[in-house]
Amino acid sequence: MRILVVNDDGIYARGLSALVRGLKDLGEIYVVAPDRERSATGHSITVHRPLRVRKVALSSDFGVAASWSVDGTPSDCVKLAVEDLLPNPPEIVLSGINQGSNLGTDVLYSGTVSAAVEGLISGFPSVAVSLTSFPDRDFSTAAEFARKLVTVLEKGAFSQNFLLNVNVPPGDRHNGVKITRLGNRRYINIFDKRTDPRGRVYYWMGGDLLEMEDNQEGTDVSAVKNNYISITPLRLDLTDYPGIDNLNSNGFLENFKTIITGGSKI
């Protein structure tokens, strides 16, 4: 099995090292990761400057076939890996292990999840894995679970390409594994306003997590809160299908009858 490993915490991040060690005898492992921290970059790609790639010699006990660092985003890494760097296409893309959770609406900001999304766009089954803690830096359980998940998926748990978002609580004792849907995560935005020595204003952005009451049973937020590993299947289609039916059924388009487009009425 050819496995592409990416992340958003950087090529030398502990989470990536733990993941690669956990996968190392499952097949050919290729690592393509940002050359530095790229958290919260979402699905951004680099189009206004050239990308620089450097071959990296990771620790010999990683057992990787080859590894590269890229001075771009996680999504850049996947694109470059698939289109140029790897000698053959990967059979699965793994992104992580992220330091910190990617739950609910976090997935819209996450470079970790976006790298997995890019893997799916490129036509490959993809998995994002996160350790739901910042202080805890022991990735061993999350890496062990990722390994088990890959072996299960290799047996044909899915008949087509898929995208899974996995969140593993810290520690080595969990209540089990749950298949979940995305919950709701909101933050109280905090902007620390400062002035530099030249008198120019700048900001540091931070935030505090806001507890949401609508994270009921079945959400990834609820599962992790109750010490379960959550697996959330995701898809690329963001269409609100009930919204289509609602707009079509309430006369919404009647409001635009008089709009002229290309010389004709709609």
Residue 206: inside a domain: no
Q: How large is the average pLDDT for residues 52-79? A: 93
Residue 209: inside a domain: no
52-61, 123-132, 188-197: least confident range: 52-61
Supply the pTM of this predicted model. 0.91
Q: What pLDDT band is residue 206 in, cutting at 50, 70 and 90?
A: confident
Residue 199 is which amino acid?
G
Predicted pLDDT at 32:
98
Given a cut of 80, whether residue 61 has pLDDT beyond it is: no
Predicted pLDDT at 264:
57
pLDDT, one tens digit per residue, over 250-264 is 888 888 877 766 555
pLDDT, one tens digit per residue, over 86-118 is 999 999 999 999 999 999 999 999 999 999 999
Residue 101: inside a domain: yes
Instruction: Map residue 257 onto helix, strand or coil.
Output: coil
Instruction: Report the CATH number that the domain containing residue 160 is assigned in CATH.
Output: 3.40.1210.10
Burial 221-238 (b: 16+ CB within 10 A, else e): bbbbbeebbbbbebeeee
Residue 91: inside a domain: yes
Domain count, the chain: 1
Decide: 74 and 6 in contact? Cβ < 8 Å: yes
Predicted pLDDT at 120:
98
Residue 190: inside a domain: no
Rounded (10°) angle between helices 140-154 and 14-23? 40
Residue 67: inside a domain: yes
Q: What pLDDT band is residue 152 in, cutting at 50, 70 and 90?
A: very high
25-34, 192-201, 206-215, 220-229: least confident range: 206-215
Residue 81: inside a domain: yes
Q: How large is the average pLDDT for residues 221-225? A: 95
Residue 95: inside a domain: yes
Residue 154: Cβ-neighbour burial (10 angstroms; 0-12, 13-18, 19+): middle
Domain that holds residue 13: 2-185+215-238
